[in-house]
Amino acid sequence: MSAIDADTAAPVLKASDYKSDVKPVWCPGCGDFSVLSAITKALAELGIPPHEAVVASGIGCSSRIPAYTTVYGFHSVHGRALPVASGIKLARPELTVLAAGGDGDGFSIGGNHFIHACRRNVDMTYIVMDNAVYGMTKGQASPTTEPDWTASKLTPDGPGISAFQPLEMALSAGAQFIARGFTANPNTLAHLICQAIRHPGFSLVQVLSPCITYRPEQRAYKNRVHQHFGHPEPATDRREAFARLMDDDGFSLGVLYKGSQPVYQPAPAPSATPEEVAAQFAIC
Amino acid sequence: MSNPSVSIALTGSGGAGVMTAGQMLLTAAARAGCYGLMSRSLGPQIRGGESAALLRLSTAPVDGPDDIFDLLLAFDWGNIDRFAAELPLNENSVVIYDPGQGPVPEVVREPGPRLVQVPLKEIAKGIPGGRENMVGLGLITTLIGLDAASLRQVIEERLGRKGAEAVDTSWQAVEAGAEAATVDGLPRLDQASPAAPGSRWQISGNDAVGLGALRGGVRFVAAYPITPATEILEWMAVNLPKVGGALVQCEDELASVCMALGGSYAGVPSMTATAGPGLALMTEAIGLGVASETPVVIANVMRGGPSTGIPTKSEQSDLNIACYGLHGDAPHIVTAPTSIADCVFTAQWTVYLAEALQCPAILLSDQAMGQAQAVIEKPAEVAFIGRRKVARPADLENYQRYRITADGISPVALPGMPGGQHTADGLEHAPSGTPSTQAAHHQEQLDKRRRKLDRFDYGDHWAIRAGDPEAELALITFGSLTGAARDAVTRCAEAGLPVRLIAPRLLLPVQVERLEAALAGATKLLIVEQNHEAQLRHLLAGHIRLPAVVDSLNRAGPLTIRPGEIVSALTTLAA
Ligand SMILES: Cc1ncc(C[n+]2csc(CCOP(=O)(O)OP(=O)(O)O)c2C)c(N)n1
């Protein structure tokens, strides 16, 4: 679509065409700025016209992202980005659908939807801005927070329970594209998001997106991240992908797994009018 | 004239084939030109267990139960104590039972019905492969004077697939039952002339809601099963694809209502169906529908509550949560069909309202209607003019999703429309859709969301009216009780007591002016509803000026409120 058409000479879309002029609520230095940038770059790279893409989100700092783009958006309620996005895609398969939000939104209150969205394999891309904290409610532990993190007044002795493993869950539940990115380089992240959008079926991109306000120590993420889950090519075999995850320190970047299960998309073809359907009730 | 009808209860444990017999009886009556209603009472067992098929047959349309069962046919007495209260009998009733199944329980004996023994099981055993329910059918059809040819036709349709032998066996059992029909004094059905083919329907309330929604344009359904609403979803799963729609089974009701909102946001009229516990889970997202102005229909089939309550039995106790269950100031639509036939119309109308007003609409059905089957006049095909107000090219210049308009309705751009991009938001917003915490924005959006519901012309569909519109005595009810209320009003009129009946289809927004006009001149009002806390009465009292004297006839489920009780309450109130 981005190619210049001889007749209409449609301009090539730039990343800036996907950025709205609404000022984000995010703190200076928030990783989510870079995710916004990466999404806009990816959509431009894929040449998807802004009116043919939709971003659905839940609630949280990260979930504010739809309004910062120029595509169609649905900022829903806490935890429900995935069902809303699924409904959009199932009703209008021709649209490009993204779901986006935080780790609390996706793995805690929306955890059940996460599992079932992985299983259902609707063709859409889920971008989780994982800062291992509830940013919007000012710094409580999230499912991906380390058990010994003591900086929250709500869990002064640390949450004390082991962290949720999004990629293991996604792989177990049947996601067909599983990747991890980092905010330091929006171009690399954009490339990952492009691959995720292109991959048919449900794609998960976990983005390590530092919250420097409530987790200033996450500034050190840049020293911990490294390329690949032990291998430059994604696994296409689940057993292999699980094995790679067992060696993952949480900072491996890239595509872990690419599967090829069929996409879920009911494709009804109208063959009757409502009145023909109603005839089943007639007493003859 | 009051409805000359025959009421029959068939009871038995799982395996007796009570429901099959009831269905066949209803269909045979329909074939013979009669109307009828069959509701069911089921115990808690997943399979088998006690069950009762409760029928009322007549040559005139039937929308509700009678006071007393003329005939109780008991294949056995399994767990009869659990539902005997739902089978009122008196000294004119006839109880036919199988002496091989033990003595007649005290609860059945107590009202003094005539007791007649027929060895149903033994008769069935006399026919190789014969079944007691077919014996029972032969017995009943003969007693009430239903044309045998109609029953034969139904048996051929049902069993024809299994071959001529199966039909013959059943027919022998029917004939054996007919021979045993030596009881006299039972009311008989008047001779009806068969209706023109296709002019009548046999349909359940749940299927009727599905069909109405489909007629109304619903093409996306997100589903999570729950008794007694599941049949709506099952019907749509099969029938929606035929017209180009799709149904998705979800992981829970949080997902189903949100998927429906997603489908609707994408431009496809969408719905889900549920019952009390599911509606409770959905309330947050229904509020999202209000704030983001996304139409969605939630068909809620009421059952006993609170909590898991009595899943298999009827009650009208979700009125409060449907009207008041949303947080914040969240005007929305609540409708209630007034009969099984009306389920088709009301569901279609509800979709139309949700779409036209860009607002969630909760349709309140109940188990008594949803899981009952009726023989009805073929519902008229209605066309509502106007759908969701979709943005035109002029609207898309400097498009504002939540533009302030005189009628409160803002043109909506759908994904795919260039220039219409916006973010639908549950956060309070400026007209552009951009989140806002400003007092003025909050005020103007609240005003607009209220205004669109208040300014809309709901026409005459807002209520069903019957009886004498000038009567001093008024009666208000809703949902499946409307049938009993109509019967009561007819009986009162025959006894010289005029009554005006108002059964609102539109419960929210409360039609203040229309209700007050409909009540003008009435000095006394009876409010009839199937719940413990008189929820309808409180809803009305909170909104409209009621007549000086108001009384309630309300009772929790599952014991339905019968016409005779309404007549008594009206008579007492009039005195
Ligand atoms: C039903 C409900 N419960 C609680 C909240 C409060 N709340 C808003 S955002 C949030 C957590 C956000 O954390 P996360 O999803 O990780 O996103 P972040 O803000 O870190 O980007 C919570 C608990 C809410 N809005 N709704």
Using an 8 Å CB-CB cutoff, list chain B residues near A116.
Answer: 250-251, 255
Which residue's structure tokens are 């995850």? A245
Beta strands in B178-331 (DSSP E): 200-204, 220-223, 246-249, 270-274, 296-302
| Residue A69 dihedral angles phi and psi, to the nearest 5° | -110, 175
Q: How far apart are CA B175 and CA B152, in angstroms?
A: 10
Among B193, B235, B208, B211, residue whose Cα is nearest residue B30:
B193
Name the amino acid, one letter, at A211: C
State the architecture of B202-377 in CATH terms.
3-Layer(aba) Sandwich (3.40)
In testing the pocket of ligand 1, which one of A105, A140, A145, A164 has its CB within 8 Å of the most ligand atoms? A105
Q: Which of B157, B224, B423 is the best substitution to test chain A (most A C-beta atoms within 10 A)?
A: B423
Q: How far apart are CA A44 and CA B499, in angstroms?
A: 69
B401: three-class secondary structure by DSSP? coil
The number of the ligand 1 atom at minimal distance from the alpha carbon of A59 is: 9
Give the pair of three-digit tokens for residue A28: 């200076």
- Looking at residue B192, its pLDDT comes to 80
- Smallest CA–CA distance, residue A63 to chain B, in Å, is 11
State the distance from the centre of ligand 1 to the C-alpha of A58, rounded, in angstroms.
8
- In this prediction the ipTM stands at 0.96
| Average pLDDT value over all residues in chain B | 95
H or E segment to which residue B501 belongs: strand B499-504
Among A38, A44, A42, residue whose Cα is nearest residue A14:
A44
Domain topology for B461-574: Rossmann fold (3.40.50)
- Smallest CA–CA distance, residue B206 to chain A, in Å, is 13
Q: Do A87 and B263 touch (CB under 8 A)?
A: yes
Among B215, B218, B201, B504, residue whose Cα is nearest residue B379:
B201
pTM (whole model) above 0.90: yes
For residues B507 and B336, the answer to whether their CB atoms sit within 8 Å is yes
- Smallest CA–CA distance, residue B324 to chain A, in Å, is 19
Q: How far apart are CA B392 and CA B403, in angstroms?
A: 14
Which residue's structure tokens are 């066996």? B169
Using an 8 Å CB-CB cutoff, list chain B residues near A275.
Answer: 381
Residue B49's pLDDT band, with cuts at 50, 70 and 90, is confident
State the distance from the centre of ligand 1 to the C-alpha of A26, rounded, in angstroms.
14
Does A232 contact chain B (CB < 8 Å)? Answer: no
Among A55, A15, A61, residue whose Cα is nearest residue B422:
A55
For residues A265 and A93, the answer to whether their CB atoms sit within 8 Å is yes
Does B31 contact chain A (CB < 8 Å)? Answer: yes
The string of DSSP codes covering B522-551 is --EEEEEESSTT-HHHHHHHTTSPPPSEEE
Least confident window among B40-49, B163-172, B229-238, B373-382: B40-49
- Smallest CA–CA distance, residue B287 to chain A, in Å, is 9
- Looking at residue A3, its pLDDT comes to 44
pLDDT tens digits, B313-346: 999 999 999 999 999 999 999 999 999 999 999 9
Does B285 contact chain A (CB < 8 Å)? Answer: yes
User: Of A72, A91, A115, which is closest to B270 when you measure between CB atoms?
Assistant: A91
Q: Do A77 and B415 touch (CB under 8 A)?
A: no
Does B197 contact chain A (CB < 8 Å)? Answer: yes
Q: What is the mean pLDDT of residues B180-198?
A: 85
B420: nearest CA in chain A?
A: A51
> Which 409-448 residues of chain B touch chain A by CB within 8 A?
415-427, 433-435
- Looking at residue A8, its pLDDT comes to 57
User: Hey, whose CA ends up nearest to atom 6 of ligand 1?
Assistant: A137
For residues B204 and B372, the answer to whether their CB atoms sit within 8 Å is yes
State the distance from the centre of ligand 1 to the C-alpha of B224, rounded, in angstroms.
25
Q: Do B248 and A272 touch (CB under 8 A)?
A: no
User: Of A22, A84, A116, which is closest to B262 when you measure between CB atoms?
Assistant: A84
Domain(s) labelled CATH 3.40.50.920 in chain B stretch across: 461-574
> Which 49-68 residues of chain A touch chain B by CB within 8 A?
49-52, 54, 56, 64, 66-67
Q: Which of B258, B344, B388 is the best substitution to test chain A (most A C-beta atoms within 10 A)?
A: B258
Q: Do B211 and A278 touch (CB under 8 A)?
A: yes
Q: Do A87 and B264 touch (CB under 8 A)?
A: yes
- Looking at residue B182, its pLDDT comes to 86
Q: How far apart are the first and last CA of chain A?
A: 55
Least confident window among A212-226, B75-89, B106-120, B477-491: B75-89
Q: Do B202 and A52 touch (CB under 8 A)?
A: no
What ranges in chain A are assigned the alpha helix state H? Answer: 32-46, 81-91, 103, 111-120, 166-173, 186-198, 221-224, 238-246, 274-278
Residue list, ligand 1 pocket, CB within 6 Å: A 59-62, 78, 101-105, 129, 131, 133-137, 142
User: Hey, whose CA ends up nearest to atom 24 of ligand 1?
Assistant: A78
In testing the pocket of ligand 1, which one of A32, A113, A137, A209 has its CB within 8 Å of the most ligand atoms? A137
Q: How far apart are the first and last CA of chain B?
A: 23
Using an 8 Å CB-CB cutoff, list chain B residues near A274.
Answer: 211, 214-215, 243
Cβ-based burial of B461 (10 A; exposed 0-12, middle 13-18, buried ≥19): middle
Per-residue pLDDT of chain A (284 residues; tens, 9 = 90+): 444 444 555 679 999 999 999 999 999 999 999 999 999 999 999 999 999 999 999 999 999 999 999 999 999 999 999 999 999 999 999 999 999 999 999 999 999 999 999 999 999 999 999 999 999 999 999 999 999 999 999 999 999 999 999 999 999 999 999 999 999 999 999 999 999 999 999 999 999 999 999 999 999 999 999 999 999 999 999 999 999 999 999 999 999 999 999 999 987 788 899 999 999 999 98
For residues B327 and B288, the answer to whether their CB atoms sit within 8 Å is no
- Smallest CA–CA distance, residue B241 to chain A, in Å, is 5
Q: How many CB atoms lie within 10 A of CB A136?
A: 18
- Looking at residue B205, its pLDDT comes to 98
Pick one of 3.30.70.1520, 3.40.920.10, 3.30.930.10, 3.30.9.100 as the CATH number of B5-179.
3.40.920.10
Residue B46 clears pLDDT 80, i.e. is over it: no
In testing the pocket of ligand 1, which one of A57, A59, A207 has its CB within 8 Å of the most ligand atoms? A59
Provide the β-strand partners of residue A182: A208
Does A263 contact chain B (CB < 8 Å)? Answer: no
Q: Do A281 and B292 touch (CB under 8 A)?
A: no
Cβ-based burial of B547 (10 A; exposed 0-12, middle 13-18, buried ≥19): middle
Domain(s) labelled CATH 3.40.50.970 in chain B stretch across: 202-377
Q: Do A51 and B415 touch (CB under 8 A)?
A: yes
- Looking at residue B190, its pLDDT comes to 80
Q: Do B222 and A74 touch (CB under 8 A)?
A: no
User: Of A67, A83, A284, which is closest to B262 when you measure between CB atoms?
Assistant: A83
Instruction: Report the C-alpha dihedral over residues B353, B355, B361, B366, rounded to 10 degrees.
Output: 70
Q: Which is it for strands B473-476 and B524-529: parallel, antiparallel or unpaired?
A: parallel
For residues B255 and A87, the answer to whether their CB atoms sit within 8 Å is no
Give the pair of three-digit tokens for residue B438: 């400003």
**% of chain B surpassing 70 pLDDT:** 99
Give chain A's length. Answer: 284
**% of chain B surpassing 90 pLDDT:** 91
A277: nearest CA in chain B?
A: B239
Q: How far apart are CA B544 and CA B541, in angstroms?
A: 6
- A vs B: CB pairs below 8 A: 192
Give the pair of three-digit tokens for residue A84: 């809303």
State the distance from the centre of ligand 1 to the C-alpha of A135, rounded, in angstroms.
8
In order of their start, the domains of chain A are: 13-280 (3.40.50.970)
Express the helix, strand and coil content of chain B in percent, nearest 5 each. 40, 20, 40
Q: Do A274 and B250 touch (CB under 8 A)?
A: no
> Which 81-120 residues of chain A touch chain B by CB within 8 A?
82-92, 94-95, 112-113, 115-116
Q: Do B255 and A113 touch (CB under 8 A)?
A: yes
Instruction: Report the C-alpha dihedral over residues A65, A53, A166, A120, rounded to 10 degrees.
Output: 140
Q: How far apart are CA B360 and CA B348, in angstroms?
A: 14
Q: What is the mean pLDDT of residues B46-54?
A: 82
Domain(s) labelled CATH 3.40.920.10 in chain B stretch across: 5-179
